[in-house]
Amino acid sequence: MIQFQYERASTTKAAVSALANNANAKIIAGGTNLVDLMKRNVMAPTKLVDINALPLRNIKQQNGKVIIGALALNSQVADDKLILEKHPLLSKALNAGASAQIRNMATVGGNIMQRTRCSYFYDTALPCNKREPGSGCGALEGVNRMHGIFGTSEQCIAVHPSDMCVALVALDATVVVSGPKGERRIPFEDFHRLPGSQPEKDNTMQKDELIISVEIPDNAFSKNTHYFKVRDRASYAFALVSVAAALDMDGKTIKEARLAMGGVAHKPWRLKEAEKALAGRPANEETFRRAAEIAMQGAKAYKHNAFKLQLGSNVIVEALKNAAGIV
């Protein structure tokens, strides 16, 4: 790890100005992603701004929404009573990610900002447009088993690795960020970007902004939810494909549905057309199969990840069945 300067910020304003004054400064929260990337020389900030002293750890209910501070730990959110009661989907997604030790360190803000796990991105000896714009993409013609099937570009086919974010996009969350001009609210769907010709940009936040909190509006999706994650080993591995499903049921009929996928795109992938196809329909295998078919339209596989097309469809059906309680 190269040397860097370390600063402990005591106010949000100080953190923002530290970022604004140094193009090579980075926020550090739990450090579970950043320290790893710094050890491997994938990222080399010259200054770390430690935000752990900021009062951003609380989880509270306010004005029809649950507000989660950016420094709330993944384990803290997963075990929180309010979250378990109102948004169990989020709790399930969190517990499907990483390990207990890492969840005790990982923060909500850091989880949203974590970078791709594309192995070419991690290997500084190989080309990667995300790490080094213009250098090429090792994964395009390489081993791309873990890579994207939706919204990829010729520049980058990496996926966003977070489980938590798949639940948050399904729950219509909003990210609140703070910058030199004050606070700004970004709908979760618009927060992460597709790679396009600028895969080095993971999201729509400015360099001198920081995440303050995440807000989830109250909803009627707490009773029938499921997070289904398929990975190469039983636990402690990133998703090949994951699905967050939430249903608002009226007896055996689906009033409304929420559906999102992980491990398939550069961002947590919300499936709105499939949601529409579920609304007003009876909760059964046939409905779920049709929704899955709609969900997978437009998916495009690469040499090693064609299995994700069928897998994705199956995982959607299983997640919906589990959410509906008909397994």
Partner 1 sequence: MDKYKSRDKPERVDSHESRRDFLKTSSILTAIAVAPATVAKAAEYNLGEKISTAFETTPVNLTVNGVKKQLSVEPRSTLLDVLREQLDLTGTKKGCDYGQCGACTVHVDGQRVLSCLSLAIMQEGKQVTTIEGIAKGDELHPMQKAFIKHDGFQCGYCTPGQIMSGIACINEGHANSKEDIKEFMSGNICRCGAYPNIVKAIQEVKNGGQQS
Interface with ligand FAD by CB under 6 A: which residues?
A: 26-34, 36, 70, 74, 97-98, 102, 105-107, 109-111, 113-114, 161-164, 210-211, 238
Q: Report which of 251, 264, 272 is spatially closest to residue 325, judged by C-alpha positions.
A: 251
Using CB distances below 5 to 8 A depending on partner kind, what does residue 18 bind out of ligand SF4, ligand FAD, partner 1, none?
Answer: partner 1
Q: Which 115-174 residues touch partner 1, going by CB under 8 A?
A: none
- Cβ distance to ligand FAD smaller for residue 104 or 253: 104
Shortest CB 40 distance to partner 1, Å = 7
Rule CB under 6 A: say whether 150 interacts with ligand SF4: no
User: Residue count at the site for partner 1 (CB under 8 A)?
Assistant: 41
Per the DSSP assignment, residues forming a β-bridge with 175 are 186, 214
The burial of 111, by beta-carbon neighbours within 10 Å (0-12 exposed, 13-18 middle, 19 or more buried), is given as buried
Q: How far apart are CA 263 and CA 150, in angstroms?
A: 10
Rule CB under 8 A: say whether 31 interacts with partner 1: yes
Distances (CA, A) of 205 to 148, 288, 298: 22, 35, 28
Using CB distances below 5 to 8 A depending on partner kind, what does residue 199 bind out of ligand SF4, ligand FAD, partner 1, none?
Answer: ligand SF4
Rule CB under 6 A: say whether 265 interacts with ligand SF4: no
Rule CB under 8 A: say whether 24 interacts with partner 1: no
3-state per-residue secondary structure call for 248-274 = EEECCEEEEEEEEEECCECCCEECHHH
CB 215 within 8 A of CB 65: yes
Q: Which 214-253 residues touch partner 1, going by CB under 8 A?
A: 234-236
Shortest CB 288 distance to ligand FAD, Å = 25
Rule CB under 8 A: say whether 35 interacts with partner 1: yes
Shortest CB 102 distance to ligand FAD, Å = 5
Using CB distances below 5 to 8 A depending on partner kind, what does residue 164 bind out of ligand FAD, partner 1, ligand SF4, none?
Answer: ligand FAD
Distances (CA, A) of 21 to 18, 100, 109, 257: 5, 36, 21, 45
- Cβ distance to partner 1 smaller for residue 34 or 139: 34
Residue bearing tokens 């303050």: 212
User: CA angle at residue 263 from 190 to 91, to 5 degrees?
Assistant: 75
Q: How far apart are CA 254 and CA 277, in angstroms?
A: 10
Length of the chain: 327
CB 201 within 8 A of CB 151: no
Given candidates 43, 57, 84, 102, which one binds partner 1 under the rule CB under 8 A?
Answer: 102
Using CB distances below 5 to 8 A depending on partner kind, what does residue 234 bind out of ligand FAD, partner 1, ligand SF4, none?
Answer: partner 1
Q: How far apart are CA 96 and CA 168, in angstroms?
A: 14
Given candidates 43, 57, 84, 105, which one binds partner 1 under the rule CB under 8 A?
Answer: 105
What is the contact surface with partner 1 in residues (CB under 8 A)? 1-11, 13-14, 17-18, 20-21, 28, 31-32, 35-36, 38-40, 46, 48, 50, 52-53, 75, 98-102, 104-105, 234-236
